[in-house]
Structure 1
Amino acid sequence: MKEISTILIIFGVLIILIGLLMRYTSILSFLGKLPGDIRVEKSNFKFFFPITSMIIISIIINIIIRIFKK
C-alpha cells in the first residue's frame, strides 16, 4: 500500500511540474494544437476535445511507469 501512495505522490508532482511548464514556457505549446484534436467554435459555443494530445500524454506516462517499475 505504501508503494501505491509513493507512486501517486510522484505522479502528482509530475503533473504539477508539467502544468507549470505549460503555463510559463512554450516548451509544450504544441499540446492541444495537434492534428486530431477536436475543436468546434460557434458564435456563443466552444468545444475542445484534445484526443491526440491525450493519447501522446498517455504514452509518455506509460513509458515513465515502465521505467520506474524496472
Structure 2
Amino acid sequence: MTGIGKLLMTIGVIVFIIGFLMQFIHIGKLPGDIVIKKGNTTFYFPIVTSIVLSVVLSLVFYFIGKFR
C-alpha cells in the first residue's frame, strides 16, 4: 500500500506543478492546432498541444522512474 500512496502523492505533486505553471505559461493555440469556426460555433482541437504535452510528460515520468 505504501507504493500506491507514494505514486498518488507523486502524481498529485506533478499535477499541482503543471497547474501552477499553466497560470504563467499559456499553452495552447500552437501552430498546427485545428480551429474551425462556422457561425456561432467554434471547434478547437489542440493536436499539436497534445503532442507537446505528451512528450513533456513522458520525459518527466522517465526521469522520475530513472531516479527511483
Between Structure 1 and Structure 2, how many residues are aligned? 66
Percent identical across equivalent pairs?
38
**1:65 alignment partner in structure 2:** 61
SS of equivalent residue, structure 1 residue 47? strand
**1:7 alignment partner in structure 2:** 7
TM-score of the superposed pair, with normalisation by structure 1: 0.71
CA distance in 2, matches of 1:10, 1:39: 34
Structure 1 regions of 5+ residues with no counterpart?
none
CA RMSD of aligned residues (A): 1.9
User: Which structure's CA Rg is the greater one?
Assistant: 2
Question: Alignment partner for residue 33 of structure 2, among 37, 40, 54?
Answer: 37
TM-score of the superposed pair, with normalisation by structure 2: 0.73
Structure 2 regions of 5+ residues with no counterpart?
none
Partner deviation per Cα, 1:22-59 (whole Å, 9 max, x = no partner): 23x2xx22x21211111112221111111111111111
CA distance in 2, matches of 1:59, 1:9: 22
Matched, 1:22 2:18: no
